[in-house]
Structure formats: C-alpha cells, structure tokens
Amino acid sequence: MPGVKQAQKIAILGAESSGKSALAELLAKRYQTVWVPEYLREFVDTQTRVPKEHEQAGIAQEQLRREAALLTQANQYLFCDTSPLMTWIYSNHYFRFADEALTALAEEHDYDFTLVTAPDFPWTPDGLQRESPAVRQRIHERLLSELEARDIPHLLIEGSPDQRLEQVAFALDFLME
C-alpha cells in the first residue's frame, strides 16, 4: 500500500542463556508491537530433541517465514529473537558444517538493526537447548567475530533487564530516527 511505512526489523542475537527472549518481549511491550519468538525452542519442545544437521536450514527458513508473517502486524518495529546467522553459527559449532541453503540464509541478514545480548548474568540450564557457560562464551565470541567479518553494525546490550531495555530504547529513539 503506497504511503504505508513497513516496520523495521530488529535482530536480537546472542548465545544461549543471554536474555534474547526476555529482551524481545520487553521491547515489544514498550513499543506496543509484536515479536518473533525463536522457532528452535518450539522445535525442541515439540520434537523432544535437538535438531539434526540436515534440519538446520529448515529451522532458519521457518524463522524467516514467521518474521514475514508478523511483519504486517508490527507497529514501527518487529523484534526478532534470533536470525539465520545464529542457526549458522550453532550449526558450525555442533556439526562443523552448515549447508549451502543455511549459509545463503545467514548471508542475507536483512535486518535494520542488530542487537547482541551479552552473556553477563548467570547461565541457567533450559532442558535440551543449553549446554554450558563455556559454550555460551564461545558462541558469543564467534557471533561478535562473524558480525565484524560481515560488516554488520551491532550494539552490544549489557546489564540487568531494565538496563538493557534502556540501552536499546536510547539507540532506537535517537539513532534509528
């Protein structure tokens, strides 16, 4: 529809147990919009197992499909809890491989802004999805390295949930306008 501005897609990336989902939910509430939960969580819950190597691209595709479906409902921003880049990083970590389809999805990274949640509070187990504080730190470092290598501007978000919310609000309110 001419004249209607599409919401900006905000990727919220980070290692396991770093507060991505909580931040996405808080931001959606603050900006009175919707957020896209991480599809991997639903996959693990419904399948009662972690995904296999050949399922990684499908998980990333479903995440993007859900983003596209919610984009029309978003008000100014669509907060996306993860992206294909995170699936690609975890695939390389666990399988030492990411297929061409997943690699292509990760290379697209068509978000208007990227947030990275720091692993700066205690790690908590979460069933099949979380491995250890050491893995969380390795994934965090790999994510920062990949964002740099791909020239993807990003903002590292740290601190308590309230501090994180204020950091993002400052960036969105003053840097994105």
In the predicted structure, residue 1 carries a pLDDT above the cut 50: no
Threshold 0.85, pTM exceeds: yes
| Torsions phi, psi for 8 (to 5 deg) | -85, 135
- Overall domain count for the chain: 1
Q: Are 105 and 60 in contact (CB under 8 A)?
A: yes
Domain contains 90: yes
**Which regions of the chain does DSSP assign to beta strands (E)?**
8-13, 35-36, 77-81, 113-117, 155-157
Domain contains 1: no
Burial category of 60 from C-beta neighbours within 10 Å (exposed 0-12, middle 13-18, buried 19 and up): buried
Query: Which pLDDT tens digit goes with each residue over 8-18?
Result: 999 999 998 89
Domain containing residue 137: CATH number: 3.40.50.300
Looking at per-residue confidence, does 148 or 135 come out higher? 148
Q: Domain range spanning residue 150?
A: 8-175
Q: For position 4, what pLDDT does the model report?
A: 56
Domain contains 110: yes
